[in-house]
Structure 1
Amino acid sequence: IENQVAYKHYIRALSHWPKDALRPDCQFQDVIRRRVDKRFFPVEGQKPADEKAELEQVNALYSLLGNRYVQKYRITGDLMKPQSNPTHYTDLIHELDAVPNRTWWGNMTNRWKGFLRFK
C-alpha cells in the first residue's frame, strides 16, 4: 500500500482514543476504523485514498486526541456558570460520570424522579 504511513497513523491515533462508557456498543474509533478501511482498501473501480488529504485528516484526529483546542481556546469567566443555574455544568458532569455505573433500578428511579417533580 502506498498510503501505509497515513494508515498507520490512523491506527495509532484510534488505539489511543478513549472508550465511551455511555455508548459501549457504538464507539467512535470503530466508526472511524470502518471509514479508514474503506478508504485504504477500496473495492475495484473506486479510486484509492489521497495520502496528503488523509494525513491532514489524521492531523485533525491527533489534535482532537491531544485536546489542542481546549488548551488553545480556554473557557474563561462565567461562561460555565450561567446566572439562571450556576451549577448546571457541574451537575451535568456528575450525572455523566454516574450513568455507566448505575443499575437498572437506579435508572428506573431516576426516570420516575423526572416524571414526578415536587417542589
Structure 2
Amino acid sequence: MSKQTINRISHLLKHWPTDAVRPASVSVQTYLQSRLPSTQPQQQPSPKVEISEASLNALSSLLEDRYARRYPLPPKLRRPASNPDHYDNVVKEFEEAPGRDFWGRVGKRLRGLFRFT
C-alpha cells in the first residue's frame, strides 16, 4: 500500500464524524482501520484487502459534502407541507437515542403506541 493511500485513509479516519447510533463494528472508522497496515506483528498474517482509489475518492467527496453543495435540496423537499418538522424531529430523535436508558426507551415506545393528540 502506498504512503499516499495510507495518508488519505488516516485523514479520513481523523475527520470522519462518529455515528452514535450505529454499532462500532459496522462503522466507517472500523472499515478504514481494517484497511490500514498494522504496526504490530501478527501470529498469522491475514490477507489485507486493498481499498480502491475510487472508494477513497467517494469517501473524500462525502466528507467534503461535495454532493450536498452540488445538488442542494429544495426547501419544499426539506420541509414538506404535510409535516414541516418531520426531518428535524428525526434528527432530534437520533441525537437523543444513544443517551436514553432502559426506562426512557420503554416510555418512548409506550408514548408512540398510545398517541392521544
Query: TM-score band (shorter)?
Result: 0.7 to 0.9
Pick from 69, 76, 79: which aligns with 1:78? 76
Residue 60 of structure 2 is matched in structure 1 by 62
**Secondary structure of the equivalent of 1:105?**
helix
Aligned CA distance change for structure 1 residues 42 and 55 (closer, same or farther; 3 Å): farther
What is the Cα deviation at residue 24 of structure 1? 4.4
Q: Is the 8 A contact 1:6 1:54 kept in 2?
A: no
Residue 5 of structure 2 is matched in structure 1 by 6
- The aligned amino acid for 1:8 is N
Q: Is the 8 A contact 2:12 2:60 kept in 1?
A: yes
- The aligned amino acid for 1:101 is G
- The aligned amino acid for 2:64 is G
Q: Is the 8 A contact 2:79 2:85 kept in 1?
A: yes
Identity of aligned residues (%): 31
Q: Is the 8 A contact 1:22 1:100 kept in 2?
A: yes
Where in structure 2 are there 5+ consecutive unaligned residues?
38-44
1:1-21 per-residue CA deviation (whole Å, 9 max, x = no partner) reads 5x2321221122122111111
Q: Is the 8 A contact 2:24 2:30 kept in 1?
A: no
Aligned CA distance change for structure 1 residues 78 and 90 (closer, same or farther; 3 Å): same
Give the number of aligned pairs: 109
Q: Is the 8 A contact 1:17 1:29 kept in 2?
A: yes
Query: What TM-score comes out, normalization by structure 1 length?
Result: 0.73
Where in structure 1 are there 5+ consecutive unaligned residues?
none
Residue 24 of structure 2 is matched in structure 1 by 25
Query: What TM-score comes out, normalization by structure 2 length?
Result: 0.74
Q: Is the 8 A contact 1:81 1:88 kept in 2?
A: yes
What is the alpha-carbon distance in structure 2 between the residues aligned to residue 89 and residue 108 of structure 1?
A: 23
Q: 1:24-63 counterparts in 2 under 5 A?
A: 24-26=23-25, 27-34=27-34, 36-37=35-36, 43=47, 49=50, 54-63=52-61
